[in-house]
Structure 1
Amino acid sequence: MTPAETEVAELCSELIRVDTSNYGDGSGPGERAAAEIVMARLAEVGAEATYVESAPGRGNVVTRIEGSDPGLPALLVHGHLDVVPANAADWTVDPFAGEIRDGYIWGRGAVDMKDMDAMMLAVLRQMATEGRKPRRDVVFAWVADEEAGGEYGAKYLTAKHPELFDGVDHAISEVGGYSLEVDPSLRLYLIETAQKGLAWMRLVAGGTAGHGSMLNSDNAVTEVAKAVARLGSHEWPLNLTPTVRRFLSEVADAFGLPFDPEDPAPIIEAIGPLARFVGATLRHTTNPTMLAAGYKANVIPGQASAVVDGRFLPGLEEEFLSTVDGLLGPDVRREYITHDIALETTFDGELVESMIAALKAEDPTARAVPYCMSGGTDNKTFFADLNIRGFGFVPLRLPAEMDFAAMFHGVDERVPVDALRFGTRVLDRLLTNY
């Protein structure tokens, strides 16, 4: 095994053992301790890095490795150090012990995304030790706060320190590059090229306050409830974006299924648990999540509100909002809690070709296919503002029986050690040849 393959599992465990839970309200431990581990492991091999603390405890690490051809645009490889919280009582193992058992590394962040953090670190350390250069400059970034919107991570870095990303035109990061085994002779590797937009909306209705025993035809709770019911029960039509259409076509071909754009359900069913990743990318979604009104059983409040999690397809935001406004009705207004763009890039170019070549060199059964995420990552949210074209690519060759989608934010999150070793080999090839 290469040095990177040898140490990647322990690096991943070491990072998991640092609790970097992000509660979204500033009450978590922060990422400083994990960032200090990254800094220390880089220093051991003589790699200089920049530590940026955006707020007390919110640590970010960025380093640039010089390429053999400085005339080429640089590549950004980034991962986040924070994780979502975990309730230890629900887990088979301590979620922050980084235990290696039965060929897996267990713990919060094992797939989201301290696996990639460790792969980045292992490959960089090996290249530095061997004195090897990548083909082009590579900027490695381990960032804070992705799980709560990136305020203290990618947003801060791109706004306050854009010089760290000078010359970068492409990026790779999370939620892509993982395998779906069709049969022993064919594995699909899903590379993320698109992400839905985000519209977290607060719906507000005003009305006439009064006694609960009296007639009231201007009830704010009633108006909000009707709007929530209309949005929550609305059947958004199928709308296949270019990325989704190509993904469905590729999967249909791989499984020997007909591709009917009017009825893609059999294709989605064929990919099993991964349908949770892509099923919501066939249409817009509006899911009510919160309700608030009143303070006493016999008092009709003068205002009521609700929260709806809206996700819209790339290129179709205006259509989405127009429909939402029509469903709300004239007596309910909406305001954004969080709004973020949708993004879609094409599945072509030298980086895509290099990702495909690196995968096939390590797995001859590999076929790379583009797909759209129903969520979002730092690739879209902030690095796109610097005109950096982002892809989801964390290369993992997974066991056919593994429910990979359940690992994200799930109980007993874990990643196969062999998958990490595979990932270091693919990542090393990519950086060397791209």
Structure 2
Amino acid sequence: MTAYSPNSDQTPAARAASVAPEGALAWAQWMIQRKTVALTGSEQAFAEQLAGLLPAKAADIRVHPAGDGRANLIATCHGATPGPHIVFCGHIDTVPLGAKPWSCDPFGAEVRAGRLCGRGAADMKGGNAAMLAAFLDLADQREFPGRLSYALTFGEETGSEGAALMVKDGSLPRFDVMIIGEPTNNRIVRRHKGALWLRVSARGRTGHGSMPQMGINAIDLLTNLSAVLRDALAGLGSDPQLDRTTLCLTRLEGGVQTNVIPDFAIAEFDIRTLPGQDIERVLGIARDLARDLCTQQPGAGISFEVIASLPALDTPEDDLSLRAVAEACAALGLPEVAAGGASYFTDASLLQNLGGSVVIIGPGEPSEAHQTDESLSVEALETAVSLYREIAIRLFTLYRPVTRSAVAADI
């Protein structure tokens, strides 16, 4: 763990060489201009540079390295009096660019026709920047009761590894409410699917491609398992907001030559589960179906490796946090829309284990996430700053501890 202060010898050199951006747009551009593609070991450098730019007088700023160039960042400001712990949370990493050429520099952070362009603009450096701008405004005033934290994780796109570390090492204290700025078009999301990522290995029997009946095709084993498991999971029930449990075969490798039956293959399954579903039960269904397939072809074998196991989020509809967020949206004149659900997962899958309620709301549009020419409305970004500030103020009021004098006054 590294703590930063104006006189710290551990402050990054970037601190002296850089000037802190002003406003959410400038912060978002600064973030996009720093490449933090998942699994490239770039999150620690990002976290240290950002920590070096934040005003130490406004918050206790700490970077928590995880090795291999990865790190979480947590900044915490204590208010004027005791009260709840509210957290703004996002992730540092982005997905890769993909094969399709971009019409803009993906790391240039150019503004075109009122939209900020670049990898991570929507998912979720725009949200991170808006939350940071609101955090700094509130931290500068310190007129709230309680604690306000700004937390950024590494590895969300690859299975919420940074969030897992936050829970394990206790670096983020238990909270009352967490706001996650994932792309929702500034609309409230209170629930989302969970995820079970599986790496599935199949062993068969090789043979000549002209005589498929003489071998056991390992690729066929995996595609057949994918089909029967997809149908079985779809039959587990439905949800009015989140539809059904889904399976997507996202990777498949196998075979050595066109005319040779493959005797080994590996696939990866992306399974998305519904709130209330037991992930272990889902894994059990997969194992049972694999066993059935192998029984039909003596000599076949299928094994599983769990890459990630992330529970769903299901914040109750009557939760106090949702009331505060809805009131904040109404105060800013945003469309009145019932709190919805999302098919993706977020770090909330794991961070909800730290206690309080979690609400997801951010300026990005979900349809822009992971896209070529990803972009974000600058107007939505600026609206989000006011929205986060208003949400925090209302949460601090609603979750303020009841004092003895207040109780006496009500009697």
Kept after mapping to 2: 8 A contact 1:289/1:309 = yes
Aligned to 2:204: 207
Q: 1:201-243, CA deviations, whole angstroms, 9 ceiling, x for partnerless residues?
A: 34444434445555745514344443334345779259443xx
Aligned to 1:142: 152
Aligned to 1:116: 127
Kept after mapping to 1: 8 A contact 2:352/2:358 = yes
Quick one: which of 18, 21, 25 aligns to 1:9?
Answer: 25
In 2, Cα distance between equivalents of 1:167 and 1:302:
49
In 1, Cα distance between equivalents of 2:195 and 2:163:
17
In 2, Cα distance between equivalents of 1:115 and 1:203:
36
The structure-2 alpha-carbon separation of the partners of 1:110 and 1:295, relative to structure 1 and needing over 3 Å to count, comes to same
The structure-2 alpha-carbon separation of the partners of 1:324 and 1:47, relative to structure 1 and needing over 3 Å to count, comes to closer
Does structure 1 residue 66 correspond to structure 2 residue 27? no
Kept after mapping to 2: 8 A contact 1:79/1:173 = yes
Aligned to 2:4: none
Kept after mapping to 1: 8 A contact 2:202/2:303 = no
The TM-score, its normalising length taken from structure 1, stands at 0.75
My pick for the range that moved more, 44-53 or 78-87, is 44-53
In 1, Cα distance between equivalents of 2:203 and 2:23:
60
Kept after mapping to 2: 8 A contact 1:42/1:48 = no
Kept after mapping to 2: 8 A contact 1:68/1:136 = yes
In 2, Cα distance between equivalents of 1:177 and 1:223:
38
Cα distance, 1:407 vs structure 2: 0.8
| Counterpart amino acid of residue 10 in structure 1 | A
In 1, Cα distance between equivalents of 2:59 and 2:41:
27
What residue ranges of structure 1 are gaps of 5+ in the alignment? 180-188, 248-280, 399-403
Structure 1 counterpart SS, 2:234: coil
In 2, Cα distance between equivalents of 1:57 and 1:224:
35
Cα distance, 1:53 vs structure 2: 1.6
Aligned to 2:361: 393
Cα distance, 1:326 vs structure 2: 5.9
| Counterpart amino acid of residue 269 in structure 2 | V
Quick one: which of 160, 163, 171 aligns to 1:154?
Answer: 163
Q: 1:129-170, CA deviations, whole angstroms, 9 ceiling, x for partnerless residues?
A: 3x333343112112222122232x22222212x1x4334132
Quick one: which of 393, 403, 411 aligns to 2:372?
Answer: 411
Kept after mapping to 2: 8 A contact 1:38/1:121 = no
Aligned to 1:256: none
Aligned to 2:352: 384
Q: 1:82-131, CA deviations, whole angstroms, 9 ceiling, x for partnerless residues?
A: 111225972121010111221111111111111121112212222333x3
The structure-2 alpha-carbon separation of the partners of 1:312 and 1:34, relative to structure 1 and needing over 3 Å to count, comes to same
Kept after mapping to 1: 8 A contact 2:89/2:151 = yes
Large movers: runs of 4+ above 6 Å: none
Aligned to 1:350: 320
| Counterpart amino acid of residue 372 in structure 1 | G
In 1, Cα distance between equivalents of 2:389 and 2:283:
43
Structure 2 counterpart SS, 1:376: coil
Q: 1:357-397, CA deviations, whole angstroms, 9 ceiling, x for partnerless residues?
A: 1111111x5314222221211111x2123234322122x3x
Aligned to 1:430: 391
My pick for the range that moved more, 382-391 or 297-306, is 297-306
In 1, Cα distance between equivalents of 2:98 and 2:260:
38
The structure-2 alpha-carbon separation of the partners of 1:19 and 1:208, relative to structure 1 and needing over 3 Å to count, comes to closer
Kept after mapping to 2: 8 A contact 1:210/1:299 = yes
Cα distance, 1:325 vs structure 2: 5.2
Kept after mapping to 2: 8 A contact 1:354/1:433 = yes
Kept after mapping to 2: 8 A contact 1:60/1:141 = yes
| Counterpart amino acid of residue 15 in structure 1 | M
| Counterpart amino acid of residue 53 in structure 1 | P
Q: 1:324-351, CA deviations, whole angstroms, 9 ceiling, x for partnerless residues?
A: 4565434164513322222322122221
Structure 1 counterpart SS, 2:130: helix
The structure-2 alpha-carbon separation of the partners of 1:406 and 1:314, relative to structure 1 and needing over 3 Å to count, comes to same
Does structure 1 residue 198 correspond to structure 2 residue 214? no
Kept after mapping to 2: 8 A contact 1:231/1:287 = no
Quick one: which of 78, 101, 123 aligns to 2:89?
Answer: 78
| Counterpart amino acid of residue 172 in structure 2 | F
Aligned to 1:184: none
The structure-2 alpha-carbon separation of the partners of 1:347 and 1:376, relative to structure 1 and needing over 3 Å to count, comes to same
Matches within 5 A, 1:325-344: 327-328=289-290, 329-331=292-294, 333-338=302-307, 339-344=309-314
Structure 2 counterpart SS, 1:119: helix
Structure 2 counterpart SS, 1:113: helix
Cα distance, 1:67 vs structure 2: 2.8
In 2, Cα distance between equivalents of 1:102 and 1:143:
31
Does structure 1 residue 133 correspond to structure 2 residue 102? no
Quick one: which of 173, 176, 182 aligns to 2:180?
Answer: 173
Does structure 1 residue 36 correspond to structure 2 residue 48? yes
In 2, Cα distance between equivalents of 1:63 and 1:149:
23
Kept after mapping to 1: 8 A contact 2:212/2:261 = no
Q: 1:403-426, CA deviations, whole angstroms, 9 ceiling, x for partnerless residues?
A: x33310111111111111111111
Aligned to 1:255: none
Kept after mapping to 2: 8 A contact 1:176/1:192 = no
The structure-2 alpha-carbon separation of the partners of 1:428 and 1:209, relative to structure 1 and needing over 3 Å to count, comes to same
The structure-2 alpha-carbon separation of the partners of 1:375 and 1:137, relative to structure 1 and needing over 3 Å to count, comes to same
| Counterpart amino acid of residue 196 in structure 1 | K
Does structure 1 residue 292 correspond to structure 2 residue 257? no
In 1, Cα distance between equivalents of 2:226 and 2:194:
20
Aligned to 1:57: 69
In 2, Cα distance between equivalents of 1:204 and 1:40:
45
What residue ranges of structure 2 are gaps of 5+ in the alignment? 1-20, 295-300, 396-411
The TM-score, its normalising length taken from structure 2, stands at 0.79
Structure 1 counterpart SS, 2:55: helix
Kept after mapping to 1: 8 A contact 2:174/2:354 = no
